[in-house]
Amino acid sequence: MFFNLFSFFISFMAVFGFILVLRPIANNVGLLDKPGPRKQHLGNIPLIGGLAIYASITICSFVLTPFDSHYKMYLISTSFMVLIGVLDDYHDIDAKLRLIAQCLVGSLMVFGSDLYIHELGTLFSNEVIELGAFGPIFTVLAVVTCINAFNMSDGVDGLVGAISLNTFISIGVLVIYGGANFDNSFTSILVGAVLAFMFFNFGTFKDRRYKIFMGDAGSMLMGLTVIWLITFTTQSSQPLMRPITAVWIIAVPLIDMFSVMLRRILSGNSPLQANRDHLHHLILSKGYSNSNTTLIIGGLSALLCSIGILSELMGISEKLMTSIFIALFIFYSFTIIKIDKKQLR
């Protein structure tokens, strides 16, 4: 079944409840995002979205999903990831220290559950790319990459939530057509939790006192959850999708992150240096509102997810999909570089 309505509803309501409980606590302990040079929102906003989503996922996973060793290690890994994210929300942890922590969390997921990427499919030839002994190390790098791709996307209301929803729904759609061995309860839990958060994040309620942010705890939780799902669904004995399809359903945060890092390196700066050079910053600079920026990028993400799903269902060559993705990345990066040069004139 594509959508487990009961799991969705329980998760949705759980996040609502946790947000209402955590919001006054965040105000009392100072877990708040305050306006600054790189943060242009109004007032102090509680950073509790990630904590509420995490609490909902944890409880619902125990009650509503087939709880096995993989789920156990997933929840242990996410617990450490959320803890690191909360500390980062409080104290702005140094980027290098944060990377080390992410590597440790990735190692816990990989070596604790023996879940890792051992093959990449036929990306460049008719031969399957086997990673062998390099597989666990490659997976840890993939974990760090995905966590930071989603973390870097967290710059506009609802953006990380929209991108995450596109990915979770894409996996749910693929389950319909070929995932007889996969249970959709977990993706339903994720969709319900993220949607509930977005009600508060967008300031849907008239009283803006209820507005919250996801925080680093939430964006890194989303990144870790996505890479865990991708690894699980592409590397099982009966995979749900091919690795290149997984790349397409997270194309927007991946392309944006690698393009930003490339441009920073070409400018002689550190790839880890924070700046207002992401896709959402570019769209905002053109005069679009936060909500319209999220709508544009979320729509682009949905389009690329759809391309990935169709390529999987139609059995389009992995080599072709890899070539198109690389061409898309090159086109996007050079287009942004040209735009940057025009703005400097």
pLDDT single digits (tens) 36-45: 555 555 568 8
* Count of domains observed in the chain: 1
Q: What pLDDT score does 3 carry?
A: 58
Per the structure, the complete domain to which residue 328 belongs is given by 5-344
Q: What are phi and psi of 111, to 5 degrees?
A: -85, -25
Identify the pLDDT of residue 43.
65
Positions at the binding site: 151, 216
Q: Is 136 helix (H, G, I), strand (E, B) or coil?
A: helix
Distance CA(24)–CA(313), nearest Å, equals 47
φ, ψ for residue 244, nearest 5 deg: -65, -30
pTM of the complete model: 0.92
What is residue 2's predicted lDDT score, i.e. its pLDDT?
A: 46
What single string gives the DSSP state of each residue in 137-197?
A: HHHHHHHHHHHHHHHHTTTSTTHHHHHHHHHHHHHHHHHHHH-TT--THHHHHHHHHHHHH
**Residues in binding site for Mg(2+):** 151, 216
> And the tokens for 66?
């087939």
Query: In angstroms, rounded to a whole number, what is the distance separating the alpha carbons of residues 49 and 238?
Result: 34
Distance CA 170, CA 181 (A): 16
- Residue 130's φ and ψ, nearest 5 degrees, are -95, 130
Adjacent-strand bridge partners of 251? none
Residues of the chain below pLDDT 70: 1-3, 35-43, 67, 179-181, 203-209, 272, 340-345
CA-to-CA distance for 255 and 123, rounded, in angstroms?
A: 17
3-state SS, residue 65: coil
